[in-house]
Amino acid sequence: MEYVSPEGLRIDGRRPMEMRKLQAEIGVVAKADGSAVFEMGNTKVIAAVYGPREVQNRSQQLSDQALVRCEYSMANFSTGDRMRKPKGDRRSTEISLVIRQTMEACILTQLMPRSQIDIYVQVLQADGGTRSACINAATLALADAGIPMRDFVTSCSAGYLNSTPLLDLNYVEDSAGGPDVTVGILPKLDKVTLLQMDAKLPLDIFENVMQLAVEGCKAIADYIREVLSENTKQLEYRRGL
Amino acid sequence: MEQRLANTWRMTVNEKKFIESALLSGLRVDGRNVYDYRKLSINFGKEDGSAEVHLGQTRVMGFVTSQLVQPYRDRPNEGSLSIFTEFSPMADPSFEPGRPGEFAVELGRVIDRGLRESRAVDTESLCILAGKLVWAIRIDIHILDNGGNLVDAANVAALAALLTFRRPECSLGGENGQEVIVHPPEAREPLPLIIHHLPIAVTFAFFSDESTLVVDPTHQEEAVMAGRMTATLNTNGDICAIQKAGGEGVPQSVIMHCLRIAATKAADITVKIRDTVEAYNTERALRKIKRHSAPVALDVSGTGPNVRKNQVKSQDQRKVSGSVGSQVDKLKPSNERNDSDQSNDIEGILTRGVLTRIS
């Protein structure tokens, strides 16, 4: 099947280096300390952050830093066919672990000992790149909750089909069996914190694909900064400043 | 998560500081160089498809079994490969019995990505009847001792077990060729799996100081490390999988540097695996020859027996274990030349599988 037409257009009409449309909203879950909805094309994810609060399970309390917990689940209606088990299966467990460790790299946990920060991420619509959308949503939710962070974590995926590096794969391109590289970076520090890849790819091509994904992450970081500064302006306006 | 907590409370601050400051000067606690692997040894069990790997103090066992199942609906002519991990509490006090924890799931998925997504095992050859029956290969990985770097050891165990596994041969039969007959290993020689390439996992540990990284972390180094990356590559220069699940951020240049180191390490480990599997296969073939040498000891008077002995010997050399019935069938024409009662005796003795001197 042809994923990149001879004119250089992908299945959904994008160029190879073009990302899907981004849309984010903050403060959607009123009860949570911080929350956000993040959309990348048709992929829609909602994240809610509770914390810092008292550790619920005393035996897990850490005396020198905050405990970060994360739960990833996909809604039954998020994929084409209704899903049997939205959480607790191996993929969800792995992605929960990945998101937790990624966010731990950026949260200043040393400032909040003996406390707990919970991150709940739920996928409402899945069209490829759910992992990245979840990390971006979690970053926004953490910022909304006012939790001190070293830097944002933004994430984007890239692939390689028909000998072309493609940015931000959707579901059809992802299930094509080609490589799928998901990268999460700390944009200001320019460091890679999350890197996952599956399917075979030669070493030199991998470097190009990773570089492309990092560029995508930086673009998302700019967008997130915009959204947050817009949100701050709104808060200031409401307070009458 | 429990594993991480268990490590933090077991390690004293002094030990942590010691390991960290030693690493700043490029020294590791067990005396290795920064990019050195521990001693790797692979042993095989009596059955086909079982392997035990020792990587320093880490011990992992891998078992491969197969079963005939219905294929997935969207892949009707491919077999399936599934990996199950068992983190036994005897390996580490922080492992809990019962459902696999996060790290067990992560390990299973990393090895699964390296084997399945990179198409290392040929699944199309596992198809018997398209849409109805395929072979499902199941790899069980048991952790016996957690000395650090379970991913690499478990990956080697899985590969070694897959390379030595033999699945029963089956043929189509029945009225319309829709029935599948599975031949037992005594009847027909079982077949090995078709494995295109060997994806080798190489794990790196990053520490809070930017320039420090080590290959093949031990248990203590894992307790101190700030981040980890596992790169799965093969000797053809392809990267099969990468897993860096958060943790300390590293610059892109460091990642490319790690991948280049991993390429050399993967080559070493591949050579090691292939040599050990080669030795095992030769030993296995020798064992098979010994089993069939018994018929050659037949000593029957008369001209007929010489012809019979040659026939039995040539069967041996082909190393095809035909059933006893076919052996008797082949001997029938020469039997007719002898006395009828003597030939009946010989036939009877052969079918019973007892071979004695007949005066």
Q: How does pLDDT run across B193-236, given as a tens digit for each residue?
A: 999 999 999 999 999 877 788 999 999 999 889 999 999 999 99
Provide the pLDDT for residue B309.
Answer: 44
Query: Using CB atoms, which residue from A94, A190, A203 is nearest to B239?
Result: A203
Across the strands, what pairs with B229? B204
- As a whole number, the mean pLDDT across chain A is 92
ipTM, two decimals: 0.90
Task: Say if the Cβ atoms of A203 and B8 lie within 8 Å.
Answer: no
| Mean pLDDT lowest among A77-91, A121-135, A146-160, B33-47 | A77-91
Asked if residue A121 lies in contact with residue A78, where contact means CB atoms within 8 angstroms, the answer is: no
Q: How does pLDDT run across A89-122, given as a tens digit for each residue?
A: 888 999 999 999 999 989 999 999 999 999 999 9
- Where does residue B337 rank: exposed (0-12), middle (13-18), buried (19+ CB within 10 A)? exposed
CATH number, span A22-239: 3.30.230.70
B 220-279 residues with CB < 8 A to A: 227, 229, 233-234, 237-252, 255-256, 259-260, 263
Spans of all domains in chain A: 22-239
Which of B252, B253, B264 is best to mutate for the A interface (most A CBs within 10 A)? B252
Provide the pLDDT for residue B301.
Answer: 55
Provide the pLDDT for residue B296.
Answer: 54
Q: DSSP string covering A40-74, please?
A: ETTEEEEEEEEEEEE-SSGGG--SSS-EEEEEEEE
Which residues of B are less than 8 Å from A113 in CB distance?
Answer: none
- As a whole number, the mean pLDDT across chain B is 80
Task: Say if the Cβ atoms of A60 and B5 lie within 8 Å.
Answer: yes
| Sequence letter at residue B139 | I
| Sequence letter at residue B157 | A
Provide the pLDDT for residue B338.
Answer: 43
Q: Give the best-scoring range by mean pLDDT among A36-45, B24-33, B300-309.
A: A36-45
Provide the pLDDT for residue B298.
Answer: 54
Asked if residue B158 lies in contact with residue B83, where contact means CB atoms within 8 angstroms, the answer is: yes
- Residue B189 CA neighbour count, 13 Å, CB half: 13
Cα A102–B1–B159 angle (5° rounding)?
A: 85
pTM here?
Answer: 0.83
- Tell me the C-alpha distance between A206 and A200, whole Å: 10
Which residues of A are less than 8 Å from B113 in CB distance?
Answer: 198
Which residues of A are less than 8 Å from B8 in CB distance?
Answer: 62
Query: Using CB atoms, which residue from B106, B256, B263 is nearest to A97?
Result: B106
**What is the least distance, in Å, from the CA of A71 to any CA of chain B?**
12
